[in-house]
Structure 1
């Protein structure tokens, strides 16, 4: 199997959650590989700063202010991409949030924020990307940033709603694979499930409880760049190869 990113040079990628963490890292890497990237995120000024830093690279980074909990924002973002860049070839669903309210006493708005971001936003973006790919006869690639918690849940309180959202991503990846097969499509769909990653959402979070942060900081972890390498590997596979699920864990992870 020959691995190559050459077929994506000059093509259009949409990356959600592109203002920080894995989303920002993969957006930058794709630009260096020669891809034209539409970076979607609420903190659009961060994406714009990254675009300036990447201005001498082979590809391009375009910042689009988008809140993935709002369908209208996602639809407007994809329309801007179609009108200004062209049809979508790659979608990276990286937008995600982590909250740790227990089911016994958590607040409804916190649960809803997790589901709307991690599940509904992902579904809407996936639908719009596939529409673009099908309309333009593009055998593209959709990758979801999932989590190991979407496959196995450790005995730790406070994971209920987040783990539920990631379990949904695991299921959606498989059901979408079957939908694409039934439609006779060669669009690829993949889930990349990291274990503990050092990001603003975890060990550098400003909203998690001190108890939760102390627990997370004790765990073995990997970095954004490790996940990006996995995503690039997945995108580099030839058209007839689909890596449907990748689980990436730090050495020494206990669960």
Structure 2
């Protein structure tokens, strides 16, 4: 991770869960982190709490790196103008981005035969279009600065491999799309003879408020084996720390005993 010290990472969905854990770990390793979310006022507290939680579980690893800076920005991934404003700020203030962690996503318990269109649209807007706009802007920024070792990381879900319930079919469809977008970006880098990397980190059940916002799944998964947010942050650090010739295309992280 030493080569990333002093460089800039954009982490979306950083006001809770995996995004907050990724933000604090990158910052601890000397990366300057731009943490964004709709609830920007909750980001600093969430990042600090993620660090405390990791320490309480004996999962916090001290580093020798000088901590990076944390920049907090409000951004609604469903609004292209918000995304463009963040990238404009990064370019003008920090020069550009070297790492993008596309973590922001949402799910609605929305079946395919009775849900309102708005429940489908917001999932498509955030989980697919928001991710794609962030990716486009990050890659264009890197190419414009001559950066050829940047890394794009998509946080996906095992729902991208199989649909477990009809109520999550649209969410699953968006995560299937993330898998296709990961491979499509890899082939784009190959076509451009670029050394940039794209990786997909795919978690199973994780104890976060994301799950708590889905009443059906909260009840079903309450007593099932689960991961913690820092488990996925560790996976992000792993893919970032690989040698220049190694790309982790996808890493699936499941809790021991997961029955899905």
Q: Does 1:229 align with 2:234?
A: yes
Determine the structure 1 residue equivalent to 2:248: 243
**Residues 24-73 of structure 1: per-residue CA shift (max 9 Å, x gap):** 1101111000000111111111124467899xx61011001000100000
2:219 and 2:102 map into 1 onto residues whose CA distance is 28
Name the counterpart of 2:22. 26
Contact 1:13 1:88 (8 Å CA) reproduced: yes
Please tell me whether the aligned partners of residues 75 and 82 of structure 2 are also in contact (alpha carbons under 8 angstroms): yes
Correspondent of 1:216 among 221, 244, 256: 221
2:151 aligned with 1:141, yes or no? Answer: yes
Q: Which residue of 2 aligns with 1:46?
A: 42
Q: What's the TM-score, normalizing by structure 2?
A: 0.90
Preserved contact between residue 21 and residue 47 of structure 2 (Cα < 8 Å): no
Query: What's 2:2 paired with?
Result: 6
Q: Give the secondary-structure state (helix, strand or coil) at the position aligned to 1:13.
A: strand
Aligned to 2:111: 102
1:40 and 1:218 mapped to 2: Cα distance? 31
Shift of the alpha carbon at 1:188? 0.2
What corresponds to 2:173 in structure 1?
164
- Asked if the contact 2:43–2:72 (Cα under 8 Å) also holds between the matched residues in 1, the reply is yes
Alignment of 1:82-231 (within 5 A): 82-138=91-147, 139-154=149-164, 156-202=165-211, 204-205=212-213, 208-209=214-215, 211-231=216-236
In structure 2, stretches of 5+ residues that fail to align are 52-65
Q: Which runs of 5+ in 1 are unaligned?
A: none
Q: So what's the TM-score if we normalise by structure 1?
A: 0.92
* Aligned-pair Cα RMSD in Å: 1.7
The answer to whether the Cα contact below 8 Å between 1:193 and 1:247 also exists between their aligned partners in 2 is: yes
